[in-house]
Amino acid sequence: MTWRASRGKRVLTGTEREFFLTAFGSLVDEIRAELAGHREPAEYGIAVFDRLQPWSKLAVLADVGSALIHKTEICPKRTAISEGAIAAVFSQMHVLIEIEIDLESDTDHEGRFLFRKQVCSALEELCPKADQPEITCGDIDEWYYALQSLSDRILWDQDYLTADVFMDLDPDDTRDVRKMTGMDHEYVTAIAPDPSEPERQALSLRLRELIHGVEY
């Protein structure tokens, strides 16, 4: 599928695709570890995504990953859940960079800048005029703003951060808030997939294909 981004229909390529898939694969691994009972659920400050069950998170990630990686004529409809999933991928890269900075003094080889280098490469390719941190920068806030520059090329805004408030409102209040904010009804009310047992194996294969670029 192709994603209808803030700058038109888009499919990720080059360094943008590389860094996105790195964070995407890491996020999928985190959710799989949660399913296996190896860790507590991670929270990214994105309520519409954080509150989903693990298999629903994986299903949404597979949908948005397919839309951003594969070129098609039809774009999936934007929803708070799908945009929240994309935002979670960017948040995961922020986590990876934070860990990388924390471990930098314990690592001597060039790989200690792996994630920061990927973000810088994407910025150089896509936003050559934008200010960007050096790959040796240890200020995590600088990397937040760098990632924001990249996520802005995909996400329209940050409506997904407030969409969860609609879940606690009665219908009349929901209509009033949507009228004030301009949010589409389907954007805030869409429900995440809940894959059945038979569907989960196919979903796992689909995720592997997206992350590794190999069709299983």
pLDDT digits (tens, 9 = 90+) for 73-82: 778 888 999 9
Q: Which residue has the higher pLDDT, 62 or 168?
A: 62
Best-predicted range by mean pLDDT among 53-62, 98-107, 165-174?
Answer: 53-62
In-domain check, residue 213: no
Please report the pLDDT score of residue 43 as a whole number: 92
In-domain check, residue 5: no
In-domain check, residue 132: yes
In-domain check, residue 99: yes
pLDDT tops 60 at residue 194:
yes
Mean pLDDT value across residues 125-140: 90
In-domain check, residue 214: no
Please report the pLDDT score of residue 216 as a whole number: 35
215 confidence band (pLDDT: 50, 70, 90): very low
Burial of residue 170 (CB within 10 Å: 0-12, 13-18, 19+) is exposed
- Give the residue numbers spanning the domain of 197: 10-201
pLDDT tops 90 at residue 3:
no
Q: Which of 33-37, 85-89, 165-169, 191-195 has the lowest mean pLDDT?
A: 165-169
Please report the pLDDT score of residue 182 as a whole number: 54
In-domain check, residue 39: yes
Mean pLDDT value across residues 145-174: 76
Q: What is the mean pLDDT of the chain?
A: 86
pLDDT digits (tens, 9 = 90+) for 81-90: 999 999 999 9
What pTM value is reported for the model? 0.88
Share of the chain above pLDDT 70, in %: 86
Please report the pLDDT score of residue 167 as a whole number: 59
In-domain check, residue 209: no
Please report the pLDDT score of residue 49 as a whole number: 95
Q: How many domains does the chain have?
A: 1
pLDDT digits (tens, 9 = 90+) for 11-50: 999 999 999 999 999 999 999 999 999 989 889 999 999 9
Calpha distance 74→14 (Å, rounded): 22
In-domain check, residue 208: no
